[in-house]
Structure 1
Amino acid sequence: MSDIGTSIKTTRKRLGIKAIDFAKEIGVTSSYLSMIESGNRKIPDNLKEEMLDLLAYYDANEKSLECIYDYIRISFPTHDVDSILKDILHIKKEFMYETATSQYGYVGMFKLDLIKCLYSEKGDDRGTLIEMSGKGCRQFESYLQARGKTWFDFFSDCERFKGRCTRIDIAINDYKSYVSIPTLLNKIFAGECVSKFRAFDFMGSGLIDSGEKNGVSIYLGSKSSDFYLCLYQKDYEQAKKLNIPIEDVEIKNRYELRLKNERAQELIRLIQESGMVSENVVAVLNNYVRFVDKGTQKAKKHWQVNKKWENLIGEMGKKLKLTTEPTEDFYEKSEAWVEKSVAPTLKMIQLADEELNRDKLNEMINNAEMSEEQEHKMMIYVSKVEDMIA
């Protein structure tokens, strides 16, 4: 095999490009590509240049590791909800739906689907709280994008209003499965994990008859503590949730840092000061856990770091960046509920109308009265993000 053929094949496989797809991209047959990669056919200069350029393009745009904010909770020592909406979230108040709540001891909240602003009674030192789930973070990113702002700007605004982060989840998405989560679990059982965490937990399930697996999750540290890690097979979770083949799920593994109270506030402070999310995430991981291979030394701290774990951390140091995935999809759960639970009944009435030569369905729709919350959802559906910005 020629050196150039070996290099092309190695790079193609590393990038996860199938031979048939690569051959199609460069306009040759799969058998011709095979001969090139095996060194049995000399590559014309123009084709070699095209192949190398294409591989370089795929390499530069390879999606392997990314980190995202997956949950945010920030408290403010103020009862001035209007200022929080206007100067922190930058969302016009009329686009937020107000409702009562007892969550965390608060009495009410303004929400735009999964973007929430909770408030307490006057004199209650809970003040005001912003909470966003993972999907809420993606929704809020559409407002940041429309304003030409970033998460750094958001946290700077929070700091200006003396906001304190009481919980932050940072998720690292692994598109290449740098490590095997079940293998890491086995290494913990074998004592091949060096960690500042004292406890761990895990979850896993499957089917006895078929041997089908439903994925493994590992929790390093107590889930009731101010900091713990969650490592799990995201592809199994999504395949089951969306009822799709596991190979169709892009994200293979997810590694989550979940911090509360002072731990959360300290991490945000370090990120804001350095301007780097990935650098601090990698530092935390390196400080708290490493997987090793059993050696001859008695003390496991002297054992060699497992190559795959070392490669994962190394790649994080080189490639990991904070990414955003803005979405303008609001109240998807409501639509999903209608599609699953209501639409079949509406279809039945529609078919009955056709058979009986009546118009009952349209009559029901025309006579229906929307609730205040439904009117709010309707306003969101037909509005542009840019129009909602304060």
Structure 2
Amino acid sequence: MVLNEEQWIKELREKRIAYGISQGKLAVASGITREYLNKIESRKMKPSKELLNTLHKELARFNPEAPLTMLFDYVKIRFPTLDIQHIIKDILKLNINYMLHEDYGRYSYTEHYSLGDIFIYTSADEEKGVLLELKGRGCRQFESYLLAQQRSWYDFLMDALIDGGVMK
């Protein structure tokens, strides 16, 4: 065995133990048997380079210090205000001049603004307020804007909650 592979295997075993992952759990995630992984770790079997890469990739998924990521696919927030410009400019941090305005809406709202698949509905009825709706593609598009603004979903959702937004 090449020294580099020996080091990889030693590192693999040390990380697996440090992460608190059993041989069985790592083996199942990597598509091999526990016995085969045991033989690899005890250097009785020589794994292929692809298998070593797979083992390290799967082990990295179990890293307890890795950041948790979430993927939003639908967001609906109602704001108790009729000031749509405030919502677009200060919460979404978008330019209203780039948005398309239509004199019809959904969900009994009378009009809406849109930018791609990002929809903001408004009505003269103060009880309804302003409604932001992001479906799948709208969420992906808004993520791009958040990235450009150097903000995260967390930052945006906190801004929305602080402003009185109600998550639907």
TM-score by length of 1: 0.30
Aligned residues with identical type, % of pairs: 35
Q: Is the partner of 2:131 in helix, strand or coil?
A: strand
Counterparts of residues 312-351 of structure 1 (less than 5 Å): none
Q: Does 1:157 align with 2:153?
A: no
Q: CA deviation at 1:150?
A: 1.2
- Identify the residue that residue 56 of structure 2 maps to in structure 1: 56
Q: Tell me, yes or no, if structure 1 residue 15 matches structure 2 residue 30.
A: yes
SS at match of 1:118: strand
The aligned counterpart of 2:126 is 124
The verdict on how the C-alpha distance between 1:107 and 1:152 changes in structure 2, with shifts beyond 3 A counting, is same
Give 1:54 deviation, angstroms: 5.4
1:199-218 equivalences under 5 Å are: none
Picking from 70, 75, 84, the partner of 1:72 is 75
CA distance in 2, matches of 1:50, 1:116: 45
CA contact (8 A) 2:26 2:58 kept: no
- What is the alpha-carbon distance in structure 2 between the residues aligned to residue 49 and residue 99 of structure 1? 57
Distance 1:50 1:16 in 2: 12
CA root-mean-square deviation: 3.6
Partner of 1:206: none
2:119 touches 2:132 (CA, 8 Å); kept in 1?
yes
Is 2:121–2:131's contact at 8 Å kept on the other side of the alignment?
Answer: yes
- Contact 2:146–2:153 (8 Å) recurs in 1: yes
Matching residue of 2:143: 141
Give the 3-state SS of the residue equivalent to 1:69 in structure 2.
coil
Q: Is the 8 A contact 1:8 1:52 kept in 2?
A: no
Gaps of 5+ in 2: 1-21, 63-67
Among 77, 99, 102, the residue aligned to 2:102:
99
Kindly report which structure 2 residues correspond to 1:1-390, keeping only aligned pairs within 5 A, or say none.
11=26, 13-16=28-31, 42-43=44-45, 55-61=55-61, 67-121=70-124, 123-165=125-167, 167=168
Q: What corresponds to 1:226 in structure 2? A: none
Q: Which runs of 5+ in 1 are unaligned?
A: 1-6, 18-33, 168-390
Deviations along 1:353-373, whole A, 9 cap, x unmatched?
xxxxxxxxxxxxxxxxxxxxx
Asked if 1 retains the 8 angstrom alpha-carbon contact of 2:76 and 2:131, the reply is yes
| Count of matched residue pairs | 135
* Amino acid in the other structure paired with 1:111: S
Residues 24-75 of structure 1: per-residue CA shift (max 9 Å, x gap): xxxxxxxxxx9xx79xx9446xx7999657512332147xx97422211111
Q: Deviations over 1:267-322 (max 9, x none)?
A: xxxxxxxxxxxxxxxxxxxxxxxxxxxxxxxxxxxxxxxxxxxxxxxxxxxxxxxx
Partner SS, residue 88 of structure 2: helix
User: 1:298 maps to what in 2?
Assistant: none
Residues 199-249 of structure 1 show CA distances to partners (whole Å, capped at 9, x for unaligned) of: xxxxxxxxxxxxxxxxxxxxxxxxxxxxxxxxxxxxxxxxxxxxxxxxxxx
Q: CA offsets, 1:119-178, max 9 Å, x none?
A: 112x5321211111122112111111112211111111112221111x2xxxxxxxxxxx
Using the TM superposition, give the Cα deviation of residue 81 of structure 1 relative to its aligned residue in structure 2, in angstroms: 1.1
Structure 2-normalised TM-score? 0.64
Larger Rg over CA atoms = 1
Q: Larger RCO: Structure 1 or Structure 2 (Cα < 8 Å, ≥ 6 residues apart)?
A: 2
CA distance in 2, matches of 1:77, 1:9: 52
C-alpha distance in 1 between matches for 2:116 and 2:83 = 21
Considering fraction of residues, name the structure with more strand: 1
